[in-house]
Amino acid sequence: MVLELYLDLYSQPCRSVYMFAKKNNIPFELKNVKLFEGQQYEEDFGKINPLRKVPALRDEDFTLAESIAILMYLAEKFKTPDHWYPSDLKKRARVNEYLSWQHVAVRANGSKVFWFKFMIPIITGEEVPKEKMDFVLEDLNMSLKLFEEKFLQDRPFIIGEQISLADLVAIVEMMQPVAAGLDIFEGRPKLSAWRDRVKEGIGRELFDEAHAAILKAKDISQMLDKSKLEFFKARVKKMLN
């Protein structure tokens, strides 16, 4: 039985798993789970991942949730090139350090910008109040500043001369606010140069393929199942409180 990956490329963690598997020629069957149609709540998917989130992995009778766990599993099972998840203890610790931090920083704040700037106006028909938008942008800018000063510094990549899982996870999260119309790389030459190196490390064609859907985010409004808008409105209410 071929390994199965349950993904929706509108999701940034799904894009990291997809690009990693493709880049490393890992054989897998792609199972599309359309989040905006609520397919994650269908009974069959619940058997794969009771958490009702993507990405998810099934490898014969073994299932796994959470993108970071999936990336590590793929790296170790398929013995991908060492630079992705280094065997050197200190380099691996640096990868783990970034992956541990990013959840509450670049990921959290970039996702909020995407929702506040793009998704919430679609769902509610109203713009997010300026003071709330400014607060979210301030948090994102602080995360990007910490990324440059602490994690990137003057290195080509987060752990040195070669791309790693840390860079892969970082870039997909930074592309989320870009998809909402906020070019976070403008005016940040160090960050822009790093982005270009990451694109080359992944392969521009693969990078563009993985991001094609999210960079046409305007199409999301046509995909939203109007019958499920109440679920999204409840999430929006929590975000704005």
**CATH (domain of 190):** 1.20.1050.10
* pLDDT-derived band at 138, boundaries 50, 70, 90: very high
CATH of the domain at 14: 3.40.30.10
Q: Are residues 64 and 100 in the same domain?
A: no
What one-character-per-residue DSSP string does 90-110 give?
A: HHHHHHHHHHHHGGGTHHHHH
Q: Which of 39-48, 59-68, 165-174, 218-227 comes out lowest in average pLDDT?
A: 218-227
- The whole-model pTM stands at 0.93
**pLDDT, average across residues 39-56:** 93
Same domain, 145 and 211: yes
Domain boundary among 57, 80, 103: 80
Query: Up-side HSE of residue 108: CA atoms within 13 Å toward CB?
Result: 13
The answer, yes or no, to whether residue 5 has pLDDT greater than 70, is yes
Measure the CA–CA gap between 14 and 6, rounded to whole angstroms: 8
In sequence order, what are the residues at sequence separation of 6 or more whose Cβ sits closer than 8 angstroms to the Cβ of residue 51?
Answer: 65
Return the CA Rg of the chain.
Answer: 18
Task: Give how many domains the chain has, as a whole number.
Answer: 2
Q: What is the mean pLDDT of the chain?
A: 93
Q: What confidence score (pLDDT) does residue 234 get?
A: 67
> Which residue intervals of the chain are DSSP H helices?
12-23, 43-48, 67-77, 89-101, 106-114, 120-124, 130-146, 165-179, 189-202, 204-211, 220-223, 229-240
Residue 226: the pLDDT is 61
Model confidence pLDDT, tens digit, residues 144-155 = 999 999 999 999
Do 183 and 235 sit in the same domain of this protein?
Answer: yes
- pLDDT score for 123: 83
Domain check: are 41 and 144 in the same one?
A: no
Count of residues in the chain: 241
Instruction: State how far Cα 63 lies from the chain centre.
Output: 20
What is the domain extent for residue 73? 4-80
Q: 78 is written with which tokens?
A: 């398929």
Do residues 110 and 13 make contact, with C-beta atoms less than 8 angstroms apart?
no
DSSP characters over 149-177: IIIITTSSBTTBSS--HHHHHHHHHHHHH
Q: What is the mean pLDDT of residues 203-217?
A: 95
